[in-house]
Amino acid sequence: MRRLVFFLLAPVVTAVGTLIAFMVLPFTPRSGRAPHAIAREWARAILRAAGVRLTVEGADRFVAGEPRVFVASHTSYLDIPVVLLAFPGELRVVARKSLARIPFLGWYMRFCGHLLIDRDDPRQGIELFARASRRMRAHGLSVLVFPEGTRSADGRLAPLKGGAFHLATSLDVPVQPLAISGTFDVMPRWALGPLHGGPVVLRVGTPIATAGRTGGPARKALAAEVRAALLALGLEDGAVAATPSSAAADEAS
Protein backbone atom coordinates (compact mmCIF):
# COMPACT_ATOMS: atom_id res chain seq x y z
CA MET A 1 0.00 0.00 0.00
CA ARG A 2 2.85 2.39 0.82
CA ARG A 3 4.46 1.81 -2.57
CA LEU A 4 1.14 2.21 -4.36
CA VAL A 5 0.51 5.56 -2.66
CA PHE A 6 4.05 6.68 -3.50
CA PHE A 7 3.76 5.62 -7.15
CA LEU A 8 0.50 7.53 -7.46
CA LEU A 9 1.56 10.69 -5.63
CA ALA A 10 5.26 11.14 -6.45
CA PRO A 11 4.88 11.75 -10.23
CA VAL A 12 1.97 14.13 -9.69
CA VAL A 13 3.75 16.09 -6.95
CA THR A 14 6.91 16.28 -9.06
CA ALA A 15 5.08 17.43 -12.20
CA VAL A 16 3.02 20.05 -10.37
CA GLY A 17 6.02 21.28 -8.38
CA THR A 18 8.11 21.66 -11.54
CA LEU A 19 5.40 23.62 -13.34
CA ILE A 20 4.97 25.96 -10.38
CA ALA A 21 8.75 26.39 -10.12
CA PHE A 22 8.89 27.42 -13.77
CA MET A 23 6.06 29.89 -13.19
CA VAL A 24 7.83 31.62 -10.27
CA LEU A 25 11.34 31.45 -11.76
CA PRO A 26 11.03 34.88 -13.50
CA PHE A 27 10.53 36.55 -10.11
CA THR A 28 14.04 35.57 -8.93
CA PRO A 29 15.87 34.60 -12.14
CA ARG A 30 19.40 35.08 -10.79
CA SER A 31 19.19 33.73 -7.27
CA GLY A 32 16.53 31.07 -7.93
CA ARG A 33 15.05 31.59 -4.46
CA ALA A 34 11.44 31.22 -5.57
CA PRO A 35 11.90 27.84 -7.31
CA HIS A 36 13.95 26.64 -4.34
CA ALA A 37 11.05 27.39 -2.00
CA ILE A 38 8.86 25.22 -4.22
CA ALA A 39 11.53 22.48 -4.15
CA ARG A 40 11.45 22.41 -0.35
CA GLU A 41 7.69 21.86 -0.39
CA TRP A 42 8.18 19.14 -3.01
CA ALA A 43 10.69 17.47 -0.68
CA ARG A 44 8.24 17.65 2.21
CA ALA A 45 5.52 15.99 0.12
CA ILE A 46 7.83 13.25 -1.23
CA LEU A 47 9.07 12.32 2.24
CA ARG A 48 5.54 12.28 3.59
CA ALA A 49 4.41 10.02 0.74
CA ALA A 50 7.33 7.69 1.48
CA GLY A 51 6.39 7.56 5.16
CA VAL A 52 9.63 9.17 6.31
CA ARG A 53 9.74 10.58 9.85
CA LEU A 54 12.69 12.99 9.68
CA THR A 55 14.80 14.06 12.65
CA VAL A 56 17.68 16.54 12.29
CA GLU A 57 20.46 16.39 14.88
CA GLY A 58 22.83 19.34 15.07
CA ALA A 59 20.56 21.67 13.09
CA ASP A 60 22.13 24.62 14.92
CA ARG A 61 25.31 23.94 12.90
CA PHE A 62 23.49 24.99 9.72
CA VAL A 63 24.06 28.63 8.74
CA ALA A 64 21.72 29.95 6.05
CA GLY A 65 23.25 32.55 3.74
CA GLU A 66 26.86 31.45 4.28
CA PRO A 67 28.22 29.48 1.28
CA ARG A 68 29.26 25.95 2.19
CA VAL A 69 29.72 22.66 0.42
CA PHE A 70 27.64 19.95 2.09
CA VAL A 71 29.16 16.50 1.75
CA ALA A 72 26.52 13.84 2.37
CA SER A 73 26.36 10.08 2.52
CA HIS A 74 24.23 8.59 -0.24
CA THR A 75 22.16 5.41 -0.02
CA SER A 76 18.79 6.36 -1.53
CA TYR A 77 16.96 8.68 -3.91
CA LEU A 78 15.33 10.06 -0.76
CA ASP A 79 18.60 11.66 0.39
CA ILE A 80 18.14 14.78 -1.77
CA PRO A 81 14.67 15.64 -0.42
CA VAL A 82 15.95 14.98 3.12
CA VAL A 83 18.67 17.62 2.80
CA LEU A 84 16.46 20.04 0.84
CA LEU A 85 13.90 19.98 3.63
CA ALA A 86 16.36 20.06 6.53
CA PHE A 87 18.58 22.94 5.38
CA PRO A 88 16.93 26.35 5.94
CA GLY A 89 18.97 28.24 3.32
CA GLU A 90 19.47 28.26 -0.44
CA LEU A 91 20.80 24.94 -1.74
CA ARG A 92 21.84 23.57 -5.12
CA VAL A 93 22.65 19.92 -5.86
CA VAL A 94 25.57 18.47 -7.84
CA ALA A 95 24.23 15.50 -9.81
CA ARG A 96 25.05 13.51 -12.91
CA LYS A 97 24.02 15.04 -16.22
CA SER A 98 21.89 12.05 -17.21
CA LEU A 99 19.27 13.15 -14.66
CA ALA A 100 18.37 15.99 -17.02
CA ARG A 101 16.54 13.43 -19.18
CA ILE A 102 14.06 12.55 -16.42
CA PRO A 103 10.73 14.29 -17.11
CA PHE A 104 9.93 17.19 -14.78
CA LEU A 105 12.56 16.45 -12.10
CA GLY A 106 15.43 16.62 -14.59
CA TRP A 107 13.94 19.67 -16.27
CA TYR A 108 13.68 21.44 -12.93
CA MET A 109 17.31 20.69 -12.06
CA ARG A 110 18.52 21.84 -15.46
CA PHE A 111 16.71 25.18 -15.59
CA CYS A 112 16.69 26.15 -11.90
CA GLY A 113 20.41 26.36 -11.25
CA HIS A 114 21.43 22.89 -10.10
CA LEU A 115 24.80 21.53 -11.24
CA LEU A 116 24.57 18.67 -13.72
CA ILE A 117 28.00 17.14 -14.27
CA ASP A 118 29.19 15.11 -17.24
CA ARG A 119 31.61 12.71 -15.58
CA ASP A 120 33.26 11.93 -18.92
CA ASP A 121 34.16 15.59 -19.58
CA PRO A 122 36.44 17.02 -16.84
CA ARG A 123 36.72 20.38 -18.66
CA GLN A 124 32.94 20.82 -18.57
CA GLY A 125 33.00 20.14 -14.83
CA ILE A 126 35.63 22.82 -14.21
CA GLU A 127 33.64 25.40 -16.19
CA LEU A 128 30.46 24.48 -14.33
CA PHE A 129 32.18 24.82 -10.96
CA ALA A 130 33.49 28.24 -11.99
CA ARG A 131 29.94 29.43 -12.70
CA ALA A 132 28.73 27.85 -9.48
CA SER A 133 31.40 29.64 -7.44
CA ARG A 134 30.29 33.02 -8.78
CA ARG A 135 26.66 32.29 -7.89
CA MET A 136 27.59 31.00 -4.43
CA ARG A 137 29.44 34.23 -3.64
CA ALA A 138 26.78 36.49 -5.14
CA HIS A 139 23.71 34.88 -3.57
CA GLY A 140 24.97 33.04 -0.47
CA LEU A 141 24.18 29.64 -1.94
CA SER A 142 25.37 26.32 -0.56
CA VAL A 143 25.97 23.20 -2.65
CA LEU A 144 25.21 19.54 -1.91
CA VAL A 145 27.69 16.91 -3.11
CA PHE A 146 27.58 13.11 -2.82
CA PRO A 147 31.30 12.25 -3.02
CA GLU A 148 30.84 8.47 -3.03
CA GLY A 149 29.84 8.93 -6.68
CA THR A 150 26.70 6.79 -6.51
CA ARG A 151 24.22 5.34 -4.04
CA SER A 152 25.61 2.74 -1.67
CA ALA A 153 24.61 -0.82 -2.53
CA ASP A 154 24.58 -1.99 1.09
CA GLY A 155 23.88 1.15 3.13
CA ARG A 156 27.48 1.55 4.31
CA LEU A 157 29.83 4.45 3.58
CA ALA A 158 32.12 3.88 0.59
CA PRO A 159 35.45 5.69 -0.02
CA LEU A 160 35.05 9.34 -1.03
CA LYS A 161 36.43 10.65 -4.31
CA GLY A 162 38.92 13.51 -3.95
CA GLY A 163 37.66 15.29 -7.05
CA ALA A 164 34.32 15.93 -5.34
CA PHE A 165 36.06 18.49 -3.12
CA HIS A 166 37.36 20.65 -5.98
CA LEU A 167 34.59 23.24 -5.62
CA ALA A 168 35.13 23.72 -1.88
CA THR A 169 38.92 24.06 -2.11
CA SER A 170 38.80 26.40 -5.10
CA LEU A 171 36.44 28.72 -3.18
CA ASP A 172 38.00 28.32 0.26
CA VAL A 173 34.53 27.64 1.68
CA PRO A 174 33.93 25.18 4.53
CA VAL A 175 32.97 21.58 3.90
CA GLN A 176 30.18 20.36 6.17
CA PRO A 177 29.61 16.60 6.62
CA LEU A 178 26.02 15.32 6.60
CA ALA A 179 25.36 11.76 7.73
CA ILE A 180 21.99 10.38 6.61
CA SER A 181 20.72 7.24 8.33
CA GLY A 182 17.51 5.37 7.61
CA THR A 183 16.82 6.18 3.95
CA PHE A 184 18.43 2.89 2.91
CA ASP A 185 15.94 0.99 5.07
CA VAL A 186 12.99 2.91 3.66
CA MET A 187 14.02 2.92 -0.02
CA PRO A 188 17.32 1.20 -0.88
CA ARG A 189 19.12 1.47 -4.19
CA TRP A 190 17.50 -1.57 -5.75
CA ALA A 191 13.91 -0.68 -4.75
CA LEU A 192 11.54 1.03 -7.18
CA GLY A 193 9.68 2.64 -4.30
CA PRO A 194 9.60 2.77 -0.50
CA LEU A 195 9.48 -0.65 1.13
CA HIS A 196 7.84 0.84 4.23
CA GLY A 197 7.78 4.03 6.22
CA GLY A 198 10.26 4.67 8.98
CA PRO A 199 12.54 7.06 10.86
CA VAL A 200 15.33 8.92 9.08
CA VAL A 201 18.02 10.86 10.94
CA LEU A 202 20.18 13.60 9.43
CA ARG A 203 23.21 14.36 11.59
CA VAL A 204 24.92 17.67 10.83
CA GLY A 205 28.67 17.71 11.39
CA THR A 206 31.03 20.53 12.26
CA PRO A 207 32.26 22.55 9.25
CA ILE A 208 35.81 21.78 8.10
CA ALA A 209 37.96 24.64 6.78
CA THR A 210 39.46 24.28 3.30
CA ALA A 211 41.66 27.39 3.03
CA GLY A 212 44.99 26.58 1.36
CA ARG A 213 44.06 22.97 0.64
CA THR A 214 44.59 22.96 -3.11
CA GLY A 215 45.92 20.25 -5.41
CA GLY A 216 45.21 16.55 -5.68
CA PRO A 217 47.03 15.36 -2.51
CA ALA A 218 45.37 18.05 -0.38
CA ARG A 219 41.94 17.11 -1.71
CA LYS A 220 42.57 13.44 -0.96
CA ALA A 221 43.61 14.35 2.60
CA LEU A 222 40.44 16.45 2.94
CA ALA A 223 38.36 13.53 1.65
CA ALA A 224 39.89 11.27 4.30
CA GLU A 225 39.16 13.83 7.02
CA VAL A 226 35.55 14.25 5.91
CA ARG A 227 35.09 10.49 5.71
CA ALA A 228 36.34 10.12 9.28
CA ALA A 229 33.86 12.82 10.34
CA LEU A 230 30.98 11.00 8.63
CA LEU A 231 31.89 7.75 10.37
CA ALA A 232 32.05 9.61 13.68
CA LEU A 233 28.48 10.76 13.03
CA GLY A 234 27.33 7.16 13.17
CA LEU A 235 27.65 5.75 9.66
CA GLU A 236 28.83 2.20 9.10
CA ASP A 237 32.21 1.77 7.38
CA GLY A 238 31.93 0.03 4.03
CA ALA A 239 35.45 0.69 2.72
CA VAL A 240 37.30 -2.08 0.93
CA ALA A 241 40.91 -2.29 -0.11
CA ALA A 242 41.43 -0.28 -3.28
CA THR A 243 42.60 -2.07 -6.39
CA PRO A 244 45.49 -0.53 -8.38
CA SER A 245 43.06 0.68 -11.08
CA SER A 246 40.63 2.26 -8.63
CA ALA A 247 43.49 3.91 -6.73
CA ALA A 248 44.82 5.38 -9.95
CA ALA A 249 41.36 6.68 -10.86
CA ASP A 250 40.98 8.32 -7.44
CA GLU A 251 44.41 9.90 -7.77
CA ALA A 252 43.40 11.35 -11.13
CA SER A 253 40.28 12.88 -9.56
Residue 158 pLDDT more than 70? yes
Tell me which residue range forms the domain holding 136: 2-252
- Per-residue pLDDT tens for 88-120? 999 999 887 777 788 888 888 888 888 887 766
Residue 249 pLDDT more than 60? no
Q: What is the model's pLDDT at position 119?
A: 65
**Tell me, what CATH number does 94's domain have?**
3.40.1130
**Banded model confidence at residue 242, pLDDT cuts 50, 70, 90:** very low
**Domain count along the chain:** 1
What is the spatial order of strands in the sheet that 52-57 belongs to? 52-57, 198-204, 175-181, 69-72, 142-145, 91-96, 115-117
Q: What is the model's pLDDT at position 120?
A: 64
- Of 188 and 126, the one with more pLDDT: 188
Q: What is the model's pLDDT at position 121?
A: 64
CA distances from 159 to 68, 125, 209 (A): 21, 21, 20
Q: pTM (2 decimals)?
A: 0.87
